[in-house]
């Protein structure tokens, strides 16, 4: 099929920054794109061919949008899966599939999937509602500290809390959830696996993620991860095993813990382009966004080799500001070697909202990390 400069239409559900960066690749190849997002001012709006406003969880909205496209993909997991299932039954290609998405959307189902497929993961318990957690603590089947996760609709640190005392229970939302043992980990890692329609597979280098201690958000992504070759190979093999179990099409970001005992445990996955792969735009031979496009259109996958070491810094809203966004000191970071900022186009800032990222490339990883620290200290995301 001729996808380029043709009547073919690619439907992208979700119009955020991941979609916007994917659209840079569709524009490069002149692929006609449709985007659906609930916000009239979504970042994707300026870059797609056709833009539709609608609720991503509404069956009719998602179904009618998908009927316009030849292939449908996502840039966010919170989508009406029944609508995607109906589209698949009518012969429309949906990547990742509704089956993959249904499992990943629900954290308790995701954890059971790891157990069923012998994929290493942290021990966990499932609860239908919050009050059951208190009962479990009183019965001594659960003890502080532990990690609480809402089974649905969590992202960027939302829907995840470390619970250390009884008072922390008051801040948890009601509804179905899981708890996990608090893992003593050395570092958090991620591996992005690309899988094409025909089953060709490629992995990106293992990256290391440094998190903000309060917001539970990634502050830095470091490529390659500062781990042994043995652990890097082990992490890639676990990611490949996870990818094979899901049999997904497109990208799968596999996040994992490297424990102090040297074990690797899968934390969770995302079936789409991912924050941990932003570095690839500047640092890889094939960016994760081009790779996703190659995979879902069933073209040969590109090389995942790095051209240089890279560190990515997330730009998030300053915790003291809400309102129309302003970026301070961008000209100062542009004077630094190997620095490329990406501004997502969100007009309103709020505390810890992802507003952009900066990638630093350098042949020396230690130097890249130093410059990243300087970038983090210099640039400010505030309100006018």
Q: The domain that contains 177 carries what CATH number?
A: 3.30.1490.20
Look up residue 337 and give its two tokens: 């070697």
Reported as a pLDDT band with limits 50, 70 and 90, residue 171 is confident
Q: Which of 49-63, 157-171, 260-274, 344-358 has the lowest mean pLDDT?
A: 157-171
Annotated binding-site members: 107, 149, 180-183, 188, 267-268
Query: What average pLDDT does range 356-381 have in this prediction?
Result: 97
C-alpha distance from residue 372 to each of 277, 364, 375 (Å) = 16, 12, 5
Per residue, the 3-state secondary structure of the chain, as one string, reads CCCCCCCCEEEEECCCHHHHHHHHHHHHHCCEEEEEECCCCCHHHHCCCEEEECCCCCHHHHHHHHCCCCEEEECCCCCCHHHHHHHHHCCCEEECCHHHHHHHHCHHHHHHHHHHCCCCECCEEEECCCHHHHHHHHCCCCCCCEEEEECCCCECCECEEEECCHHHHCCCCCCCEEEEECCCEEEEEEEEEEECCCCCEEECCCEEEEECCCCCCEEEEEECCCCCHHHHHHHHHHHHHHHHHHCCCEEEEEEEEEECCCCEEEEEEECCCCHHHCCHHHHECCCHHHHHHHHHCCCCCCCCCECCEEEEEEEECCCCCCEEEEEECHHHHHCCCCEEEEECCCCEECCCCEEEEEEEEECCHHHHHHHHHHHHHHCEEEEC
CA distance 351 to 336: 26
What is the pLDDT at residue 153?
A: 72
Whether 201 and 168 share a structural domain: no
CATH number at residue 52: 3.40.50.20
Whether 355 and 244 share a structural domain: yes
Q: Is residue 225 part of a domain?
A: yes
Whether 142 and 263 share a structural domain: no
Q: Is residue 105 part of a domain?
A: no
| Domain membership of residue 265 as a residue range | 185-383
Rounded to 5 degrees, φ, ψ at 70 are: -90, -35
* Residue 17 burial (C-beta neighbours within 10 Å; 0-12, 13-18, 19+): buried
Is the link from the previous residue into 224 a cis peptide, with omega within 30 of 0?
yes
pLDDT in tens, 180-219: 988 889 999 999 999 999 999 999 999 999 987 766 678 9
What is the pLDDT at residue 157?
A: 58
Q: Is residue 113 part of a domain?
A: no
Chosen domain end from 181, 197, 214: 181
Whether 156 and 272 share a structural domain: no
pLDDT in tens, 221-267: 999 999 999 999 999 999 999 999 999 999 999 999 999 999 999 99
Whether 203 and 346 share a structural domain: yes
Q: Is residue 17 part of a domain?
A: yes
Whether 196 and 337 share a structural domain: yes
pLDDT in tens, 276-288: 999 999 999 999 9
What is the pLDDT at residue 154?
A: 65
Q: Is residue 109 part of a domain?
A: no
Q: Is residue 108 part of a domain?
A: no
Annotated binding-site members for ATP: 107, 149, 180-183, 188, 267-268
CA distance 59 to 42: 21
CA distance 304 to 251: 13
Residue-averaged pLDDT of the chain: 95
CA distance 306 to 209: 17
Q: Which of 29-33, 155-159, 234-238, 328-332 has the lowest mean pLDDT?
A: 155-159
What distance lies between CA 207 and its chain's CA centroid? 13
Whether 151 and 174 share a structural domain: yes
State how many domains the chain has.
Answer: 3
Q: Is 331 left (phi over 0), alpha (psi -120 to 50) or beta?
A: alpha
Chosen domain end from 133, 165, 181: 181
What is the pLDDT at residue 152?
A: 85
Whether 289 and 200 share a structural domain: yes
Whether 174 and 190 share a structural domain: no
Q: Is residue 102 part of a domain?
A: no
Whether 194 and 330 share a structural domain: yes
Q: Is residue 168 part of a domain?
A: yes
CA distance 73 to 310: 28
CA distance 247 to 201: 11
Q: Find, among 190, 257, 256, the residue nearest to 220 by Cα.
A: 190
Query: Does the pLDDT value for residue 126 go beyond 90?
Result: yes
Query: Does the pLDDT value for residue 336 go beyond 60?
Result: yes
294 close to 301: Cβ distance less than 8 angstroms: yes
CA distance 287 to 303: 9
Q: Which of 100-104, 130-134, 258-262, 265-269 has the lowest mean pLDDT?
A: 130-134
Whether 145 and 235 share a structural domain: no
pLDDT in tens, 71-91: 999 999 999 999 999 999 999
What is the pLDDT at residue 279?
A: 98
CATH number at residue 233: 3.30.470.20
Chosen domain end from 142, 161, 181: 181
| pTM across the whole model | 0.95
Whether 274 and 350 share a structural domain: yes
């Amino acid at each position: 099929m001729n996808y380029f400069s043709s009547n073919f239409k690619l439907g992208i559900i979700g119009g955020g920054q991941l979609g916007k960066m994917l659209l840079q690749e569709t524009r490069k190849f002149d692929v006609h794109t449709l985007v659906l997002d609930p916000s009239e001012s979504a970042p994707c709006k300026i870059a797609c061919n056709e833009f539709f406003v609608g609720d991503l969880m509404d069956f009719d909205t998602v179904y009618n949008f998908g009927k316009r496209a030849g292939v449908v993909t996502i840039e966010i997991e919170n989508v009406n899966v029944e609508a995607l299932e109906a589209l698949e039954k009518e012969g429309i290609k949906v990547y990742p599939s509704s089956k993959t998405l249904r499992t990943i959307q629900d954290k308790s189902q995701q954890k059971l999937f790891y157990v069923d497929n012998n994929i290493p993961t942290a021990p966990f318990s499932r609860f239908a509602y919050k009050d059951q957690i208190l009962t479990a603590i009183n019965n001594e089947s659960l003890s502080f500290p532990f990690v609480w996760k809402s089974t649905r609709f969590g992202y960027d640190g939302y829907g995840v809390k470390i619970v250390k005392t009884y008072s922390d229970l008051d801040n948890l939302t009601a509804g179905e959830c899981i708890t996990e043992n608090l893992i003593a980990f050395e570092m958090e890692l991620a591996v992005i696996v690309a899988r094409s329609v025909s089953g060709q597979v490629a992995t990106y280098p293992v990256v290391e993620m440094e998190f903000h201690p309060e917001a539970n958000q990634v502050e830095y992504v470091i490529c390659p991860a500062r781990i042994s070759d043995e652990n890097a190979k082990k992490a890639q093999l676990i990611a490949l095993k996870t990818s094979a179990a899901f049999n997904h099409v497109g990208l799968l970001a596999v996040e994992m813990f490297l424990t102090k005992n040297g074990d690797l445990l899968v934390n969770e996955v995302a079936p789409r382009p991912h924050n941990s792969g932003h570095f690839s735009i500047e640092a890889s031979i094939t960016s994760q966004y081009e790779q996703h496009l190659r995979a879902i259109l069933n073209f040969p996958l590109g090389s995942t080799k790095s051209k240089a070491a890279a560190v990515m810094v997330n730009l998030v809203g300053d915790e003291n500001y809400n309102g129309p966004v302003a970026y301070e000191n961008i000209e100062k970071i542009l004077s630094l070697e190997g620095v490329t900022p990406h501004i997502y186009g969100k007009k309103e800032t709020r505390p810890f909202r992802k507003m952009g990222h900066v990638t630093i490339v350098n042949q020396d990883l230690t130097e890249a990390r130093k410059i990243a620290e300087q970038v983090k200290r210099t640039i400010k995301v505030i309100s006018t």
